[in-house]
Chains A and B, each alone.
Chain A
Amino acid sequence: QMQLVQSGAEMRKPGASVKISCKASGYSFTDYFMHWMRQAPGQEFEWMGWSNPLSGGAEYSRKFQGRVTLTTDTSITTAYMELTSLTYDDTAIYYCAASRGGGRSLSGFDPWGQGSLVAVSS
């Protein structure tokens, strides 16, 4: 079955960068967009953007534009999310999730990775 397995928890200092991986299995990696979300403690989910393994393209939320880079490596069916210039407000659980569409789409996010905690602390 379709499965996404993310890398483990990370702790970073303010100003640092973090890169999270998301390993896909059980489906054709290039048939689905990979979206990234985060959920800070007690907050709503925030959508960060998507990467397209087929084209290599990506789209980013305006909020994260310039700080986030979404990439994929089709040879190892893995997607990556790198976030730079971290602040305390970036402390959250980060999720990858697959979807048939990147723009307007009747497809939801399924499956999701298990989440990766990023803690920003001095």
Chain B
Amino acid sequence: DIQMTQSPSSLSASVGDRVTISCRASQKITTYLNWYQQTPGKAPRLLIYGASTLQSGVPSRFSGSGSGTDFTLTISSLQPEDSATYFCQQSYINPRTFGQGTKLEVK
């Protein structure tokens, strides 16, 4: 199975900051990488698919990049409502696997 490793596991940043979250796959997955946001008690929300395509309705401050094994989720100007846990997930091969999550606190 493909292992997905995120870093950091948690971070704290201020409103207006630029934040990056990394995700590394244990083997090459080209651009079959998706990012999700989850707030407590809610279902995950798809933010980015295909490594860099913004899902409809997602604010443009979110962006994704990367290919192969290394990927990045960037929030360009952090907002209070961005406090959440962020997950990456590969859709290259089954079983689909997820990163362990990055908990983001907005100060």
Binding site for B on A (CB under 8 A): 35, 37, 44-47, 59, 61-63, 95, 97, 99, 101-115
Can you list 12 A-B contacts (CB < 8 A)?
A37-B98, A44-B100, A44-B101, A47-B95, A47-B97, A61-B95, A103-B94, A104-B93, A109-B36, A109-B44, A110-B49, A112-B45
Partner among A47, A108, A109, A111 whose Cβ is within 8 Å of the Cβ of B94? A47
Contact A113 B43 (CB under 8 A): yes
Q: Is the Cβ of A95 less than 8 Å from the Cβ of B98?
A: no
Chain B: number of interface residues, binned into ranges: 20 to 34
Any A CB within 8 A of the CB of B46: yes
Interface hits, B60-107 → A, CB 8 Å: 87, 89, 91-101
List residues of chain A with CB within 8 A of the CB of B22: none
Q: Which residues of the other chain, B, contact A95 by a CB distance below 8 angstroms?
A: 43-44
**Chain A binding site: helix, strand, loop or mixed by DSSP?**
loop
Interface string of B23-63 (1 = CB under 8 A from A): 00000000110101000001111101110010100000000
Q: Apart from A95-B43, A95-B44, what are 8 other A-B pairs with CB-CB below 8 Å?
A: A44-B99, A45-B87, A101-B91, A103-B93, A105-B32, A106-B53, A111-B43, A114-B42
Bound CA span A110–B49, Å: 10
